[in-house]
Amino acid sequence: MEAHPLVPIGACLLYGLLMVAGQAYFRTREPLRARTSLAAWNLFLALFSLVGMLRTFPQLVHNLATLTLRENLCANPQATYGSGSTGLWVQLFILSKFPELIDTVFIIVNKKKLIFLHWYHHITVLLYCWHSYVTKSPPGIFFVVMNYTVHASMYGYYFLMAIRARPRWLNPMIVTTMQISQMVVGVAVTLLGFYYSARAADHQSCRIKRENNTAAFVMYGSYLFLFLQFFVGRYVGTQSPVASKKTA
């Protein structure tokens, strides 16, 4: 992955071109109503994310119990989460950002509204995750566990919606609140990263790379703003809450 930095860039460019072409193609055509395929896809991603969370969360708990917060955010990730089953599921998490682009296909073929937050999130998270992995970002385990957890719930919700089996108590506001909480923690982790890296005597004492942490701060900060905007537009006001569109 270090030797092929153009792969994620090429994937994002192709994604953008196909997204524009797909919308143009279906502009004058009927939606496909691919509900069965959508349900199967969401179920697959929900189960994948659940397993990923179960395989990475124990490592994060172990790290927090045995290392200081500074060590968790600054230590060599090859020692804290980059090996064994955790290392495997971290890598699978990074690679999963490519097939997750298929989410957009279902929005386009079903002629649903494609909001900026959706495609902006998919592009930026793919680029950031690839860069974090090849630069061995120390705080990566925090972001991986959070995203696996939120995606397990989010895609599970979408699956229930696709098969029309959502229980009354499962309000879409819950999913959006989880997404916003993830962004708040993400911003907090990046701010701590700036603090610890600024106080470090050298690179070896804190392996956070400023360009990667800056990208994370901008990314999570923009997500937080956009998700809050989405939350207010969707749930605050006179309109009744409706099912949340895919945004992450």
Residue 148 pLDDT more than 60?
Answer: yes
Q: Answer for the pair 103, 246: CB distance below 8 angstroms, yes or no.
A: yes
User: What is the predicted pLDDT for the residue at 145?
Assistant: 98
Residue 244 pLDDT more than 50?
Answer: no
Mean pLDDT for the stretch of residues 220-225: 97
Question: Residue 62 catalytic?
Answer: no
Mean pLDDT for the stretch of residues 64-81: 93
Is residue 245 a part of any domain in this protein?
Answer: no
Residue 215 pLDDT more than 80?
Answer: yes
Helix axes of 116-134 and 102-109: crossing angle, nearest 10 degrees:
170
Residue 164 pLDDT more than 50?
Answer: yes
User: What is the predicted pLDDT for the residue at 204?
Assistant: 74
Residue 167: give the domain boundaries.
Answer: 6-235
**Number of structural domains, the chain?**
1
Is residue 78 a part of any domain in this protein?
Answer: yes
- The total number of residues shown for the chain amounts to 248
Query: What percentage of the chain exceeds 90 in pLDDT?
Result: 85
Is residue 29 a part of any domain in this protein?
Answer: yes
SS3 125: helix
User: What is the predicted pLDDT for the residue at 240?
Assistant: 46
User: What is the predicted pLDDT for the residue at 237?
Assistant: 66
Q: Answer for the pair 73, 138: CB distance below 8 angstroms, yes or no.
A: yes
Is residue 173 a part of any domain in this protein?
Answer: yes
Residue 248 pLDDT more than 80?
Answer: no
Is residue 223 a part of any domain in this protein?
Answer: yes
Is residue 248 a part of any domain in this protein?
Answer: no
Is residue 24 a part of any domain in this protein?
Answer: yes
Is residue 241 a part of any domain in this protein?
Answer: no
Confidence band, pLDDT 50/70/90 cuts, at residue 201: confident
Could you say which of 4, 62, 118, 121 is catalytic?
121
226's CB contacts (< 8 A; 6+ apart) are: 116, 117, 120, 121
Residue 98 pLDDT more than 70?
Answer: yes
- How far apart (Å, rounded) are the C-alpha atoms in residues 68 and 45? 33
Whole-model pTM: value is 0.91
